[in-house]
Amino acid sequence: QKEVEQDPGPLSVPEGAIVSLNCTYSNSAFQYFMWYRQYSRKGPELLMYTYSSGNKEDGRFTAQVDKSSKYISLFIRDSQPSDSATYLCAAPNTGNQFYFGTGTSLTVIP
Amino acid sequence: DVKVTQSSRYLVKRTGEKVFLECVQDMDHENMFWYRQDPGLGLRLIYFSYDVKMKEKGDIPEGYSVSREKKERFSLILESASTNQTSMYLCASSLLGQAPYEQYFGPGTRLTVT
pLDDT band of residue B2 (cuts 50, 70, 90) is: low
Q: Exposed, middle or buried: residue B4 (CB in 10 Å: 0-12, 13-18, 19+)?
A: buried
Q: What is the mean pLDDT of chain B?
A: 93
Residues of chain A positioned with their CB less than 8 A from the CB of B104 = 46
CB contact under 8 Å between A43 and B31, yes or no, is: no
Residues of chain A positioned with their CB less than 8 A from the CB of B42 = 6, 88, 100-103
| Greater pLDDT, B96 or B27 | B27
- Residue A99 has phi, psi (to 5 degrees) of -115, 120
pLDDT band of residue A100 (cuts 50, 70, 90) is: very high
CA-nearest residue to A87 within chain B is B42
pLDDT band of residue B92 (cuts 50, 70, 90) is: very high
Q: Would you say A35 and A88 are in contact if contact means Cβ atoms under 8 Å apart?
A: yes
Q: By the CB < 8 Å criterion, does B60 face chain A?
A: no
Cα B14 from chain centroid (whole Å)? 20
Per residue, the 3-state secondary structure of B61-92, as one string, reads: CCCEEEEEEECCEEEEEECCCCHHHCEEEEEE
Nearest CA among A51, A6, A49, A9 for reference residue A25: A6
Q: Which of A96, A99, A105 to mutate to test the interface with B (most CBs of B within 10 A)?
A: A96
For B34-84, how does the pLDDT look when each residue is reduced to its tens digit (9 = 90+)? 999 998 888 999 999 999 989 999 999 999 999 999 999 999 999 999 999
Q: What pLDDT sits at residue B75?
A: 97
Q: Would you say A104 and A11 are in contact if contact means Cβ atoms under 8 Å apart?
A: yes
Residues of chain A positioned with their CB less than 8 A from the CB of B5 = none
Q: What pLDDT sits at residue B101?
A: 80
Q: What pLDDT sits at residue A48?
A: 94
Q: By the CB < 8 Å criterion, does B50 face chain A?
A: yes
Contacts of A15 (CB under 8 A, 6+ apart): A79, A80, A81, A108, A109, A110
Amino acid letter, residue B44: R
Residues of chain B positioned with their CB less than 8 A from the CB of A42 = 107-108
Pairing mode, strands A104-109 and A11-14: parallel
pLDDT-above-70 percentage for chain B: 98
pLDDT mean over A47-55 = 90
